[in-house]
Amino acid sequence: MADVIDLALVADARRYLNKMLDARGLNYFLRSDARRPFQLEPSKVEMVIRTAARSRDKQSRRPHIRAVDHARKEVRRELIRRVVAEMLGAGL
């Protein structure tokens, strides 16, 4: 049987990610470690997913764990894509 993914959760997560990127910038999602300057902060990614899940209407159930995992992967992919674009733009 095929997996069913809650696309509304993914869309909400992308929307909140874009809002946070506009408000705080890409550096907000990166660790401030000198040895690994471009590593993502997992707690910030989780915060985007939690915010998206809480924003849904109160009548819906908690999101399925697979939907949460898929949304987390999508947010991480988008952040990694933006970090790579910044690195290429800076010539690193």
pLDDT (tens place) for every residue of the chain, 92 residues total = 456 667 888 999 999 999 999 999 999 999 887 677 778 999 999 999 999 988 876 556 778 788 889 999 999 999 999 999 988 877 65
Instruction: Decide if 25 is inside a domain.
Output: yes
DSSP labels, the chain: ------HHHHHHHHHHHHHHHHHH-GGGGB---SSSTT-B-HHHHHHHHHHHHHHS-TTSPPPPHHHHHHHHHHHHHHHHHHHHHHHHHHT-
The domain total for the chain is: 1
Instruction: Decide if 21 is inside a domain.
Output: yes
* Residue 62, domain extent: 7-90
Instruction: Decide if 14 is inside a domain.
Output: yes
Instruction: Decide if 62 is inside a domain.
Output: yes
Instruction: Decide if 75 is inside a domain.
Output: yes
CB atoms within 10 A of CB 67: 21
Instruction: Decide if 2 is inside a domain.
Output: no
- Global confidence as pTM: 0.82
